[in-house]
Homo-oligomer: A and B are copies of this chain.
């Protein structure tokens, strides 16, 4: 069942990103009793980032199932539950812990349907968060979207705004496939207007967050906010950047990116993950392959340095793209 765009909703309300996610979970759990949440610290504590706050009181300990620290057991149980009629939403506290559960994610969840010749559906969402900026160091700050994007059978979502977070999580929960839903630890306390009630943003559709003619910046998650900030600084210098927030990396809205590049003739891909074999390479390669003659300059990637994320604040910021870096890269590209 593929989610479809809902008509402009009546009212909106300003919410934090984590409140918007909480809203989506609450509404979907009220709508469908097969939806359960399973993970660590999600009950009384409300989740490490308060995304499940209050849900225990509403839905009780069986639908807000707090677990011991057993990542592969939890994810595997969700796979089994999804195969047999539930629609589990797993909260994996940090994407850095995916390495413990990757087998169930990739060899089971992503492949069961295919291996069984279409006999099965695995309607589950793996919610987790990544990214740096909080001094949590190398085991709590990774951006691993490229791993999931390289797996056939998974869908991959990375919302940048509260409204997208709510609309995309709703669509992810209603999707009949395993969806990896990557949040960013520094987005939880960002605010935005969010449609009240049911709000669906379809998977596979990018969003042009800013129009511009001079270059296309393709980005996602927290770097969308950095890119928008950079864009207004660039505008002050007469450079109009178009910001394409891909929102879902798989399926990818190729047409939206191609369309923008055909207009601006310049591509800058920005992400926080390390550059080598990052998802930015996929986008740069795709555009080089399919829009080569539309490009007036080499497709450019701005991404994390090839080091683990260090602890100290100034070290941490030095290894992932900041607003200044985006401004600089954009100028080089158009200049």
Contacts and interface: CB of A to CB of B under 8 A. Distances in A.
Interface of A: 72, 96-107, 110-111, 114-115, 137-139, 144, 146-147, 149-150, 152-153, 250, 273-274, 276-282, 284-286, 288-290, 292, 295, 297-301, 306-308, 310
Q: Which of A104, A105, A284 has the most chain B CB atoms closer than 10 A to its own CB?
A: A284
Given A99-B101, A152-B307, A284-B285, 16 more contacts: A96-B107, A99-B103, A99-B106, A99-B107, A100-B103, A114-B310, A115-B139, A146-B146, A146-B277, A150-B276, A150-B277, A276-B282, A277-B279, A284-B284, A290-B298, A292-B298
A308 B153 CA distance: 8
What number of copies of this chain does the assembly contain? 2
A277 B288 contact: no
A65 B106 CA distance: 29
B288 A298 contact: yes
Contacts of A99: 99, 101-107
**Which of A72, A106, A115, A277 has most chain B Cβ within 10 Å?**
A277
Contacts of A72: 100
B292 A281 contact: no
A285 B281 contact: yes
Contacts of A106: 99
A297 to B, nearest CB: 7
A88 to B, nearest CB: 19
A276 B306 CA distance: 21
A273 B102 contact: no
18 contacts: A96-B107, A97-B103, A98-B102, A99-B106, A107-B138, A110-B308, A111-B308, A114-B307, A115-B138, A146-B146, A152-B306, A152-B308, A280-B285, A281-B285, A282-B285, A285-B285, A288-B288, A289-B299
A132 B201 CA distance: 37
